[in-house]
Amino acid sequence: MTNILVLGVTGMLGSMVFDYLSKNENLNIYGTVRNEDYSTEKILFFDANNLDILQQSKFKKLNIDYIINCIGITKPFSKDNDPDGVFRAININAKFPWQLARLTKDQNIKTIQICTDCVYSGKKGAYNEKDPHDPLDVYGKSKSLGEVFDGSSLLIRCSIIGPEKKEENNYLLEWFLNQPNKGEIGGYAHHYWNGITTLQFAQLCESIIEENAYNTLLDLSYLHHYTPTKKLDKFELMNVFNEVFEKNLKINRVFIEDEKIDRSLSTLYNRLNKFSKHDNIRDALNELKKYISRSDVYNI
């Protein structure tokens, strides 16, 4: 039995990774939360500001084989003009992944870390693993500094969309789903994207673990871009949302030439893409819709 610890199971990504992997009978899944009130036998209290907690006996006796780090301060909570947000982003996005990597390397624990497309400005598009970072905001800069490049962690770069837990409403898909049926929104045709769903990321982690691909991937590169879906703009993405989730919204195309952003990713390796079941976001979203309709974690 493989023992896996998912850090941050209340967030958009961590909740999906924990929920999905917990359904695999060959894996023994544990998670962490910052609020002790939510702790259970399988979900333990952990604050990323105090790494020493992972040295406590309650964690050591789990004999963890893999840690999947889903903890992060996201863009809405790390704005450039918010001193507290900047402080949190530096500690959690920049420092914590390095601290975690040192600890897990010493304990021979395999670590999977998600990385963001926001380390790129979006001026170029089709960024590969060798392209230099040029972030323009605190979030992108903090995430760039947190990329552990010494080979002690496997970094997977992608852009994610997905549902949030019942009490949350901070990100793109949940914002869309909370629009009133037959309402009206804008879709940015000057923003380009080729991301994945949180379910796809969870499935990727499962494949890497079950197929013992971690070391092979790490030997090739510490960083892999996961790019199974084709590029589209946010106007097109909104229309796919509209079709899949049957919202019947009127979506107005918005195009501003001077504000064009293309953070689409490409890859030099293509190893991760072989694990994907889908090559387009419509099919991935249809699978996501079916999955969350059977889950009591989400309110969709």
Question: Per-block average pLDDT, block size 10, for the chain (300 residues)?
Answer: 97 96 97 88 94 88 97 94 96 98 96 98 98 97 98 98 76 92 95 98 99 98 98 98 97 96 97 95 98 76
Task: State the pTM of this model.
Answer: 0.96
**pLDDT score recorded for residue 20:** 97
**And the tokens for 22?**
């917990």
**pLDDT score recorded for residue 167:** 59
Residue 147, CA atoms < 13 Å, CB-side half-sphere: 22
**And the tokens for 30?**
């544990």
Q: What Cα–Cα distance (Å) separates residue 219 from each residue in 105, 131, 149, 213?
A: 15, 20, 13, 10
Long-range contacts of 88-91 (CB under 8 A, 24+ apart): 89/138, 89/139, 89/142, 90/142, 90/145, 91/48, 91/49
d(CA 99, CA 111): 12
**pLDDT score recorded for residue 166:** 57
**pLDDT score recorded for residue 36:** 84
CATH code matching the domain that covers 2-293, chosen among 3.90.1640.20, 3.40.50.720, 3.30.230.10, 1.10.1740.10:
3.40.50.720
**pLDDT score recorded for residue 168:** 61
**pLDDT score recorded for residue 98:** 98
d(CA 293, CA 291): 5
d(CA 17, CA 97): 18
**pLDDT score recorded for residue 153:** 98
